[in-house]
Structure 1
Amino acid sequence: MCGIAGLFHCGTPKPVDPARVKAMCDAMSHRGPDGEGVWTGPGVGLGHRRLSIIDLAGSPQPMASADGRAMLVFNGEIYNYRELRSELQAAGARFRTDGDSETILAAWQKWGPGCLSRLHGMFAFAIYDADRRELFLARDRLGVKPLYMAQLSDGSLAFASELKGLLAHPLLRREVDPLAIEDYLAWGYVPDHRSILRGVEKLPAGHYRLLRHDAPPAKAVRWWDVSFAERRREKAADLEAELLFRLREAVASRMAADVPLGAFLSGGVDSSSVVALMAEASRDPVRTCSIGFDDAALDETNYAREIAQKFGTDHRERVVSAGDFTEIDRLAAMFDEPFADASALPTWRVCQLARETVTVALSGDGADEAFAGYRRHRFHAAEERARGILPAGLRGPVFGTLGAIWPKADWAPRPLRAKTTFQSLTASGEAGYARALAVVAPELRGGLYSPAMTRELGEYRAEAPFIELMANAPGRSGLDRAQYADLAFWLPGDILTKVDRTSMAVSLEAREPLLDHRLIEFAATLPEGMRIRGGQGKWLLKHAMERHLPRDVLYRPKQGFVTPIAAWLRGPLAGEARAIARGASLGRTGWFDADRVAALAEAHISGRSDHSRLLWQLLMLDKSLARLGVA
């Protein structure tokens, strides 16, 4: 795992100052503490920070191809590089190292952009081909590894693994995109189709860009997508057997490393499944680590301990407490862009714990998106059945009225919190699912903005790109389209961003075997009854793991990596909550109605309402603006 950065002139190939490339890389030194390098040529510069995982001494970067005609900087891991290497050697390729980086170069020289479909792994890389005078930028299928880009005023394109790499360049404009604020308030993160700063882009997951010195900057090209349009017809037993095969294949391929390796263990289905299959494939005890909470209602360490004992792992635990939120400035600095998923804090803490003994850790991320494991998937499938029965002309008056009069009832048991469901049923499936996924509903967001911000946003609403993506998804049903949108929008924007930044902040490589693209493609073909059955999401996955995992782990209600921020914002962080409305950075923007924000904070602190997620969003936005130096 590494950090990459570079500059490329799409017009006249002006000289590139290596010191600027080095400064961009140095801003991301946490991503690669084991080595660094910069290479420049006419109109191009590539930089690299290395975290050594495979071929520890033999694969420095930037790396030249065997013939010296191509140069690579690479962030990630290619899990099938040995098989590719053998195929390329048989075709005449020569290798000087024993790592995956040189394999990418040889694959590029043989297959061009077609090499991407042959790479199994997580990656973001740049190749400069001197013969073709081209720069090739590519990102993995699901967006595990990030890549930021910006067109600078001198005509160059700058790119880096993190926004802080771009921020190290003096020509980068630091002007906030107001549409990104709307996106951030809706989702709790800035999605991949936008950046917090105007003019900065993210290369989308499963896309590449091919740039030339003698041509204008080319647009991104999609090279991979997943389709939910097909259905498998085999018996459940046959599908279960194939699923177990693909799970074992995915886990085993991600256990290859020349450094100590372990796993995150939450005690949930997904991480427990990964640990079970790691234990099956390993001679030595698997090293596992868990994070607990000082709030017993949210603590799952007993389940993690149960799995650790069952598989004889070398297990370690640590507790997150309210005092850990003294680190929120460091947390904001990790992400550059505002990021309000409160589970980032325990994720960072478990990464810190893991890094004390290992350099690589396997996680259970991805199964919920692929196999329909979220509660919202079950609700959406049920709502879609209701939409199929009741015509839109009837749904609007009936459910619109119920949604308007039904109390919000944050305090009530989940089955009684029907307001959102009624509101969702008045709309299309896509709009309803967007509402279910959004952190702050559009009507609440609208009430927070100042008149000037309202004018700036115009007709734009954050849900619109999501609804369009979901409406055009390759699938047969509403559940298909919801899962597709989760994989394409939520997963790279929230989950994978969280894991990448928190793991890289401590120089730890996180690997996600449940995001193996072959496993994802298989899951997308499962009949709905193999995904949701009897009120259970991830049905086939749970059924397949029954022989490995205890039933109380498989079938207990999903907890998730929940952080008790509601209690913290009423207790040790109440002062922070009160200060949000007129916080230094946020207050200067003029984006929000300060009195309205202050009233929400007091309502939360008093216990009358739960506005913890919104208050946390605004707090992290304030911290991010201060870090970016834009307010």
Structure 2
Amino acid sequence: MCGIAGIFHCETPKPVDPARVARMTEALAHRGPDGAGVWTGPGVGLGHRRLSIIDLGGSPQPMHSADGRVVIVFNGEIYNYRELRRELQDDGAIFRTDGDTETILAAWQKWGVGCLQRLNGMFAFALYDLDRRALFLARDRLGVKPLFTAALSDGSIAFASELKGLLAHPLLRRQVDPLAVEDYLAWGYVPDHRSFLKNVEKLPAGHFRLLEQGRQAGTARQYWDVSFAERSDAREADLSEGLLHHLREGVTSRMVADVPLGAFLSGGVDSSSVVALMAEASSRPVNTCSIGFDVAALDETSYARQVADLFATDHRTRRVDPEDLAASAQLAAIFDEPFADASALPTLRVCQLAREKVTVALSGDGADEAMAGYRRHIFHAREEQARALLPSALRLPVFGTLGRLWPKADWAPRVLRAKSTFQSLATDGLEGYARALSALTPELRQSLYSPEFLRLRGDYRAEQPLLRLMRDAPVRSGLDAAQYADLKFWLPGDILTKVDRTSMAVGLEAREPLLDHRLVEFAAKLPERQRIRGTQGKWLLKRTMRPYLPDAILYRQKQGFVTPIAQWLRGPLAQEARAIASGATLARSGWFDNGRIALFAEDHIAGRGDHSRLLWQLLMLDRSLNHLGVSG
């Protein structure tokens, strides 16, 4: 795991200052504390920060191919590099190291852009071919590793693993894109189709860019997609056997490392499954760690301890308390862009805990998206059944009226909180799922914005790119479209961003075995009955893991990595909530109705409503504006 950065002049090969590239990579030093390097050539400069995981002393970067004609900087891991290496050696390739980086160089020289189809791993890399005078930028299939790019005023393209690498370049303009504010308010993060700053882009997951000197910069091109358009007709027992095979492959391939290795353990199905299969494959006790909370109803450490005892892991636990919310400024610096998933805080703490003993940690991320494990998937599948039974001419007026009149009862039992369900049923399935996925509804966002911001936003709505994505998706059902949206939109924008930034902030490599692309492709072909059955999501996964895990772990109510932000903002952090409306940076932006925000804060503190999500989003937006040194 590493940090990469660089500069490329497309039209004319202007000299690149090595010191400028070095400053960009220095901004990424946390991603690679074990080494640094810079290489420059006519019109190009590549920089690297290294976190040594494999071939600890023998794979410094930037790395040249054996013939010196290709140079690479690489962030990530290629899990099948040994198999590829043997195939390439049989074809005459010469290797001087024992790591995976050199395998990418040889694969490019043999297969060109087609090498991406051969790589199984998480990666973002920049490869410069001296003969073609071309820069090849690529990102892994699911978007585990990030890559930012920016077109600069001198005609160059700059790239970096994180936005802070680009911020170190003096020509990058720090101007906020108002459409990114709309995106952020809707989702709680800035999705991959946009960046918080104008003129900055993110290379989408499963895409590459090929830039050649003397030609205009090319756009990103897709090399991989997941299709839900086919259904397996295999027997259930065979599907379970196939799933277990892919699970084992995903886990064991990610256990290869020349440094200490462990796992995050929440006590949920996914992380427990990963730990079970790690224990099966390991001759030593697995290092595991978990995070708890001072609010008993949200604390899952007892379940994690149960799994740790079952597999005799070397387990450690730490708690997060309200004082940790003082780290919000630190989170803003870690993420650069505003990021409001409150579970980032415990994720950072569990990464810090893991790093005390290990350099690599396996996580359970990805199974919910691939195998329909979220509660919203179950609700969406039921709503789709209702939509199929009731004509839209009846649904729209009936449920639209109920959605408007039904009170927003955050305090009530879940069965009585039907407002969002009625609002969803009043729309088509895609719009209903977009509403389920959003952090703040379109109506709430509209009420928060100032007249000036509404003018800047124009006709754009954050839901539009998501709806296009789902409408064009290779799917057969509404559940398929929901999962496709999760894998292509939510996963890289929220979950993988959270894990990458928090783990890299402490020099820890996080690996996601349940996002092995072969497992994801297998899961996309499962019949819906193997994904959701009754009130159970991830049905086949739970059935498959019954020989390993007790039912008390497999079938307990899904909780997720929930943080007690609502309680904290009413108690020890009430003043933080009140300060949001008068925060100098946010108020100076002119984007919001500050009086209305103040009312939401007082309403939350008094317990008349739960506005913690809104307040936390605005707090993190304010922190990010301060970090970036912009006011709107």
TM-score normalised according to structure 2 size: 1.00
Aligned partner of 1:36: which letter? A
**Residue 121 of structure 1 aligns with which residue?**
121
Alignment: residue pair count: 631
Q: What CA distance in whole angstroms lies between the structure 1 residues aligned with 2:138 and 2:546?
A: 39
**Residue 13 of structure 2 aligns with which residue?**
13
Give the Å deviation of 1:534.
2.1
Q: What CA distance in whole angstroms lies between the structure 1 residues aligned with 2:213 and 2:597?
A: 50
Aligned partner of 1:314: which letter? D
Alignment of 1:374-523 (within 5 A): 374-523=374-523
**Residue 109 of structure 2 aligns with which residue?**
109
Alignment of 1:36-55 (within 5 A): 36-55=36-55
- Percentage of pairs with the same residue: 75
Give the Å deviation of 1:577.
0.8
Q: What CA distance in whole angstroms lies between the structure 2 residues aligned with 1:126 and 1:319?
A: 39
The answer as to 2:193 corresponding to 1:214 is no
**Residue 314 of structure 1 aligns with which residue?**
314
Give the Å deviation of 1:391.
1.2
The answer as to 2:386 corresponding to 1:371 is no
Q: What do residues 572-603 of structure 1 show as CA deviations (whole Å, max 9, x unaligned)?
A: 21111111112011111000001011111110
Q: What do residues 226-249 of structure 1 show as CA deviations (whole Å, max 9, x unaligned)?
A: 000000001100000010011001
Q: What CA distance in whole angstroms lies between the structure 2 residues aligned with 1:583 and 1:177?
A: 20
Give the 3-state SS of the residue equivalent to 1:280 in structure 2.
helix
Aligned Cα root-mean-square deviation (Å): 0.5
Aligned partner of 1:413: which letter? P
Give the 3-state SS of the residue equivalent to 1:398 in structure 2.
helix
Q: What CA distance in whole angstroms lies between the structure 2 residues aligned with 1:437 and 1:493?
A: 12
Give the Å deviation of 1:413.
1.6
Q: What CA distance in whole angstroms lies between the structure 1 residues aligned with 2:315 and 2:481?
A: 39
Give the Å deviation of 1:38.
0.1
Aligned partner of 1:447: which letter? S
Aligned partner of 1:421: which letter? T
Give the Å deviation of 1:142.
0.3
Q: What do residues 362-385 of structure 1 show as CA deviations (whole Å, max 9, x unaligned)?
A: 000000000000000000001111
Q: What CA distance in whole angstroms lies between the structure 2 residues aligned with 1:50 and 1:518?
A: 28
Q: What CA distance in whole angstroms lies between the structure 2 residues aligned with 1:584 and 1:45?
A: 39
Q: What CA distance in whole angstroms lies between the structure 2 residues aligned with 1:66 and 1:416?
A: 67
Aligned partner of 2:78: which letter? I
Aligned partner of 1:394: which letter? L
Give the 3-state SS of the residue equivalent to 2:290 in structure 1.
strand
Aligned partner of 2:565: which letter? I
TM-score normalised according to structure 1 size: 1.00
The answer as to 2:152 corresponding to 1:139 is no
**Residue 330 of structure 1 aligns with which residue?**
330
Q: What CA distance in whole angstroms lies between the structure 2 residues aligned with 1:302 and 1:251?
A: 24
Q: What CA distance in whole angstroms lies between the structure 1 residues aligned with 2:445 and 2:189?
A: 15
**Residue 543 of structure 1 aligns with which residue?**
543
Give the Å deviation of 1:331.
1.0
The answer as to 2:156 corresponding to 1:156 is yes
**Structure 2 unmatched runs, 5+:** none
**Residue 620 of structure 1 aligns with which residue?**
620
Give the Å deviation of 1:570.
0.8
**Residue 553 of structure 1 aligns with which residue?**
553
Q: What CA distance in whole angstroms lies between the structure 2 residues aligned with 1:594 and 1:532?
A: 43
Q: What do residues 105-138 of structure 1 show as CA deviations (whole Å, max 9, x unaligned)?
A: 0000000000001000000000000001100000
Q: What CA distance in whole angstroms lies between the structure 2 residues aligned with 1:572 and 1:116?
A: 50
The answer as to 2:258 corresponding to 1:258 is yes
Give the 3-state SS of the residue equivalent to 1:263 in structure 2.
strand
Aligned partner of 1:489: which letter? F
Q: What CA distance in whole angstroms lies between the structure 1 residues aligned with 2:453 and 2:404?
A: 27
Give the 3-state SS of the residue equivalent to 2:556 in structure 1.
coil
Q: What CA distance in whole angstroms lies between the structure 2 residues aligned with 1:28 and 1:413?
A: 46
Q: What CA distance in whole angstroms lies between the structure 2 residues aligned with 1:468 and 1:326?
A: 39
The answer as to 2:562 corresponding to 1:562 is yes
Q: What CA distance in whole angstroms lies between the structure 2 residues aligned with 1:105 and 1:499?
A: 28
**Residue 80 of structure 1 aligns with which residue?**
80
Give the 3-state SS of the residue equivalent to 1:340 in structure 2.
coil
Q: Which runs of 4+ in 1 moved over 2 A?
A: none
Q: What CA distance in whole angstroms lies between the structure 2 residues aligned with 1:246 and 1:436?
A: 30
Aligned partner of 2:178: which letter? P
**Residue 245 of structure 2 aligns with which residue?**
245
Q: What CA distance in whole angstroms lies between the structure 1 residues aligned with 2:55 and 2:583?
A: 49
**Residue 170 of structure 1 aligns with which residue?**
170
Q: What CA distance in whole angstroms lies between the structure 2 residues aligned with 1:322 and 1:460?
A: 37
Q: What do residues 87-114 of structure 1 show as CA deviations (whole Å, max 9, x unaligned)?
A: 0000000000000000000000000000
